[in-house]
Amino acid sequence: MNRRLTVLCILTLLIAAPATPFWGAFFSSLGNAVGSAFGFSSGGLNASGLMPVTVKAAKPVVDAARERLAELQRIHSMASETLDHYSGLAGTLRDLGSLQRFRAETTNWLRTTTANRFGTSGAWTRALNGESSPSATVAAYSAAGVAVPDWSAALPSLPGPWQDGVRREHATLELADAASVRSLTVLGELRRLAPERRRANGELEASALNPANAAQAMPALLGKVAVGQVRQVRGTEQTNQLLDALLEAELAGLKRDRDRMARSMQAAADYRTEVAAAPAPNWRMP
């Protein structure tokens, strides 16, 4: 009975009494070592740097350690998956062998040529081939096209409805000329830049087919894919410019056809009006 009472008193003193210098030094060094392992500073546990001596006080440290361990496990898992992915791609690229057999040439942009016998079509073809500045396209188009008659002096002498018709005819010609000039300019710019696009495409293809390890590394491949996508976007933009010029010329042609139909309908209406106003002929048997 006395022995049990003595043991109970000693345990009570150890739990209730403050840390002695011996226990303080022991738990201080242990706390600093554990704190350093989990990334805590020496003052992060308490003011004296002592390791908590109760289970309740040690719970935050244990929770932080578990979170850190889970984070390290996630990082390790991601690194392993990335390494496996790169290793698989590298093995696939090595299995392809010589990549030069996948090389394929594209057709060149052909130039337009004319006889230019009387010197009226040469400027047009130079503008179409991108060999002249865009500002010279209007002069090139004018040299090859028939000049628009000048109705400035004769227009006041015409009846009112005729004056209105002449003005609309001029609008049709001006819109058609504007669409044609713009189409010439767009085609000239595309043909002028064709050699540069061909050179860039060839370099990108040669780099993609390069069997060297550095050229087939994942960062290099991703960079080539990105450049290819950007070039595809630019190619789409150039296609849109051609379609835009084509649509503008189509609209000018539709207006020309519409005006022709309107004039035909007006002539038919005038004829019906004149027939209705004329007296009926008197027919008699001879």
The pLDDT tens digits for 192-244 are: 988 888 888 888 888 887 777 777 777 887 888 888 888 888 888 888 888 88
CA distances 88 to 81, 172, 222, Å, are 11, 64, 15
Spatial separation of the C-alpha atoms in residues 49 and 30, rounded to whole Å: 10
Angle at 230 between CA 229 and CA 231, to 5 degrees: 90
| Cβ atoms of residues 207 and 224 within 8 Å | yes
pLDDT of residue 117: 92
- SS3 assignment, position 93: helix
| pTM of the shown model | 0.55
**285 phi and psi, to 5 degrees?**
-70, 140
Write down the H helix ranges in 48-97: 55-96
Spatial separation of the C-alpha atoms in residues 177 and 81, rounded to whole Å: 62
Nearest partner of 228 among 236, 240, 217, 239, judged by Cα: 236
Q: CB under 8 Å, gap of 24 or more: what pairs does 108-116 form? A: 108/194, 108/198, 109/190, 109/191, 109/194, 111/191
* Structure token pair of residue 141: 């188009």
CA distances 55 to 36, 45, 256, Å, are 20, 14, 94
pLDDT of residue 44: 46
What is the 8-class DSSP label of residue 134?
A: G
Listed as ranges, residues in the chain with pLDDT below 50 are 13, 17-20, 22-23, 38, 42-51
pLDDT of residue 50: 46
List all residues 6 or more positions away from 43 whose beta carbon is below 8 Å from its beta carbon. Answer: 49
- SS3 assignment, position 52: coil
Spatial separation of the C-alpha atoms in residues 38 and 40, rounded to whole Å: 6
The region, left, alpha or beta by phi > 0 then psi within -120 to 50, assigned to residue 281 is: beta
Instruction: Kindly compute the dihedral angle of the four CA atoms of residues 64, 65, 67, 72, in this order, to the nearest 10 degrees.
Output: 140
- Four-residue CA torsion sign, 66, 72, 78, 84: negative
* Position 140, amino acid: A
Spatial separation of the C-alpha atoms in residues 150 and 155, rounded to whole Å: 9
| Cβ atoms of residues 121 and 115 within 8 Å | yes
